[in-house]
Amino acid sequence: MNLTEVSNYQGIFNDIGDLLFITNSEGQILEVNNAVFSILGYSSHELSGKNILDLFPAKQHGKVKATIFKHPNEKRNFSGIKILPKNQGPIAVEINTFKSSWNFSESIIVVVKPFSELAFSEEKFYRIFNHNQTLMAILDSQSGQYINVNKTFLNSLGYCKSEVIGHTADDLKIFLDQKKHHNLLKDVSESNEVRTEEVKIRTKDGNILTCLYSASILQINEQNYFFTSGINITPLKDVERELNQNLQQKALIAEISQSFNSITKSTPKFNETLELIGNYINVTRMGIFEFDKKSHTATCNYEWCNPKEKISDNRFNKIDFNKHPLWEKLLIEEGEVFIGEMKGAPKEIKAFLSHFNIESVLALPLFIDQKFSGFLEFENGVNQKAFNPGDIIFLKTVANITSNTFERIKYHTLLNEQKAQLKMAIENTGIGLWDWNILTGETYFNENWAQMLGFDPDELKPCLKKWREIVHPDDLPDVQEAFQKHSSGLTSNYKSIHRIKTKSGDWKWIMDSGKIISHDSEGNPARAIGIHVDIHHQKETENELRVANATKNKFFSIIAHDLRGPIASLLQISEVISQNEDIDERTLKQFFNSQLEISKNTFDLLENLLSWARQNENQLKYKPRTIELNKIIDYCIRENSFRAKSKGITIVVNQAGPSKAFADEDMIKLTIRNLLSNAIKFSHENGTIELGIKSNEEHASFYIKDYGLGISQENIQRIFSQEEFFTTPGTSHEKGSGLGLMLCKTFVEQNKGQLNIDSEVNAGTTISFTLPIH
């Protein structure tokens, strides 16, 4: 073998990781590789000439000798064989021997492997162990010494293999809680079950790792060992810690938001909230400074002081930006004032804060309507405070919430002022307000709304059903249609004029208007608000004006036609008589009879017009007294006898009992006269008209019945309409004014009676009325 070959052979020999010994046939050590020096700790001088048996415990010499010298070239796995390192306890090993030649002499090559290598002699399992990403190790179950560790174990903890093998975890101070590690191995040994704990492990450099550490029993050739594995969960714990911090901050932000949600200047929750933040951040003091634009200063109006620290009476409570413009500039332009170490602070700020024994400070600006309004200030007087990025983000969020709170307070105050003004305006105008939750049917009515109808607010149930009950049934369909058009988008708002029942049972006209102000997620109307305005007086005035206008028109119509026609006829008859001297007596009598009839009708019309006008002007005074109805009936029959006789009509009077009544005689006389005149007008020739009186203890009842044309129900309604004077021609084409029956009804009711019409077309009509006796 040449020198090169010898050199190559020596390099390969030393690169082998197992312990290699070359001995003579007697066991004297001739050569060893570098692994022997590094793992066992002996020097070449100490091993030179030494017998290999001396490296094993004396009680195992027999096993070792049989392995090396009696069965060379065989792999012998003797359990319990241990080799003796120089400075540590015995290491369990496997021994293999081969006959060879060294320096031209017969020799034996002894290969000694740590016993853990035997467990992984299978290539796949060895790869799993050595290349696994968990920290794996095999420990002697008696001494606790490391027999073998994988690459992840060495790389994670920063050791080389020779620094670990043959040493215990206690020797290397790997576990922060050594007792916990001992108890874990003891529990595994006693239960022979896998045990897992979360442990802290110290690296060679002193860094701390958090591991999920498992231990179990590994049996090799009837010998028990501890097999351990550790998963480095330090990154996960860091993430968990950050997550917990974020969750804690989110919970705190939620609590702060809730605390600030209903806050007003008069509540003490500012200080309570500052305490929550201060305890979490762990600072000496924190405060809320509000900016006064007029003086250009900021004053601490709310503060929290750490009760665990002594706070000086000389505190940072006010800053004049005229004297310290840099503070304001940093807040507005940089978004913060952060002094973590006073020696690095700008001179202006350092000089200012030196008066208050502040070591570090963080100030974050507050804005209202995007205008600078103050700042949040966190200070430490004991030591410097290091704020991590997560804390800064959290505190900036708190500053934003605080800004929103002050902005809400501003608008809350403004809103209250506007509400007070609106309430005063509403109360003074008497407008009723309503608010309808369309989804639930719940409604709100303000005090004016209730009082408008004579109710106390507590008497009205806040529901749609109650509202429907008090809307006039004739108006309800129109009201619902108006709101439906608005909810469908056909109109920009809702408006309706309708009647509502008051507490007393009367109907009152109101103008109702409103608007849908919100919708649900599906676009359906969710809420509507509106107002009620009492327009009953206007509505009555409007009706009165309409009736007055209709009356005026009818009055002019009567004057233009109903009076002008008869007077023109009288003039014509008079002209004929005056211009014809040869008129015979019979013709002349006919003329006089016509004049009499025309004059009578015209007189009745004028009397009706006069009575109607006086009644509308409230000039017709009601003067009741005890009257005799039979005398009034006789008087009216005499006045209408010519008309009745001209149509051959028979008038029959039926009377039972007393005929007295308590009423205004002129009104009743006009009433009966009109009723009899109408009966004659609508009776057929040679017909019959019946008049009668019936009485009881309380009332006298008058009736008149004819068998003429009759009146339809539709026309009965028109007769009593205030907006028109309805009339129809009689059986002999007699004309009327439409005033008669209307006056009759008015006068009867004014005399505390009631007028009724019972009629059938072409069968006749019965009109009756009652009057009080007393």
| 20-57 per-position pLDDT tens digit | 888 888 889 888 888 888 888 888 888 888 999 999 99
Please give the sequence-ordered ranges of beta strands (E in DSSP) within 89-222, or none if there are none. Answer: 91-102, 105-114, 135-140, 146-149, 195-202, 208-220
Per the CB < 8 A criterion, the answer to whether 103 and 22 are in contact is no
Q: Which of 68, 125, 116 lies closest to 92, judged by CA?
A: 116
Question: pLDDT value at position 605?
Answer: 59
Q: Which of 692, 688, 689, 701 lies closest to 654, judged by CA?
A: 692
Question: pLDDT value at position 542?
Answer: 80
Question: pLDDT value at position 7?
Answer: 55
182 CA to centre of own chain: 58
pLDDT digits (tens, 9 = 90+) for 577-602: 777 767 777 777 766 766 666 676 66
C-alpha span between 19 and 29 (Å, rounded): 13
Q: Which residue has the higher pLDDT, 568 or 170?
A: 170
Question: pLDDT value at position 118?
Answer: 47
Single-letter code of the amino acid located at 466:
K
Tokens of 202: 């110290």
CA angle 42, 48, 54 (to 5 degrees): 70
Question: pLDDT value at position 159?
Answer: 94
- In terms of DSSP bridges, do strands 650-656 and 688-695 run parallel, antiparallel, or are they unpaired? parallel
Per the CB < 8 A criterion, the answer to whether 714 and 691 are in contact is no
Q: Which residue has the tokens 């008058």?
A: 702
Average pLDDT over residues 69-81: 59
Say yes or no to pLDDT of 6 above 70: no
229 CA to centre of own chain: 53
662 CA to centre of own chain: 70
pLDDT digits (tens, 9 = 90+) for 713-770: 888 777 776 555 566 777 776 665 556 787 788 888 889 999 999 988 888 899 999 9
283-297, 552-566, 636-650: range with lowest mean pLDDT: 552-566
Q: What is the mean pLDDT of the chain?
A: 81
Say yes or no to pLDDT of 266 above 80: no
pTM of the model: 0.40
C-alpha span between 252 and 393 (Å, rounded): 13
Contacts of residue 705, defined as CB under 8 A and 6 or more positions apart, other chains included, come to 679, 689, 690, 691, 692, 764, 765, 766, 767
Please give the sequence-ordered ranges of beta strands (E in DSSP) within 9-167, or none if there are none. Answer: 19-23, 29-32, 75-76, 82-83, 91-102, 105-114, 135-140, 146-149
Contacts of residue 523, defined as CB under 8 A and 6 or more positions apart, other chains included, come to none
Confidence of residue 1 (pLDDT cuts 50, 70, 90): very low
Confidence of residue 91 (pLDDT cuts 50, 70, 90): confident
C-alpha span between 398 and 395 (Å, rounded): 5
Tokens of 102: 């060294």
- In terms of DSSP bridges, do strands 371-380 and 360-368 run parallel, antiparallel, or are they unpaired? antiparallel
Per the CB < 8 A criterion, the answer to whether 644 and 689 are in contact is yes
The proportion of the chain whose per-residue pLDDT surpasses 90, expressed as a percent, equals: 21
C-alpha span between 627 and 661 (Å, rounded): 5
Say yes or no to pLDDT of 210 above 80: yes
Q: Which residue has the tokens 């090559």?
A: 109
Q: Which residue has the higher pLDDT, 569 or 686?
A: 686
Question: pLDDT value at position 3?
Answer: 47
Question: pLDDT value at position 594?
Answer: 65
C-alpha span between 263 and 256 (Å, rounded): 11
Question: pLDDT value at position 622?
Answer: 76
pLDDT digits (tens, 9 = 90+) for 393-441: 888 888 888 888 888 888 878 877 777 766 676 666 668 888 888 888 8
CA 688 vs CA 655, 703, 711: distances in Å: 17, 14, 17
The strand pairing partners of 305, in sequence order, are 285
C-alpha span between 283 and 376 (Å, rounded): 13
736 CA to centre of own chain: 70
Q: In 10 A of CB 267, how many CB atoms?
A: 12
Say yes or no to pLDDT of 131 above 60: yes
HSE (CB half, 13 Å, CA atoms) of 372? 22
Confidence of residue 179 (pLDDT cuts 50, 70, 90): very high
Where is mean pLDDT largest: 174-178, 232-236, 655-659, 714-718?
174-178
Q: Which residue has the tokens 């090799």?
A: 220
Greatest CA separation for the chain = 197
Where is mean pLDDT largest: 33-37, 372-376, 552-556?
372-376
Confidence of residue 564 (pLDDT cuts 50, 70, 90): low
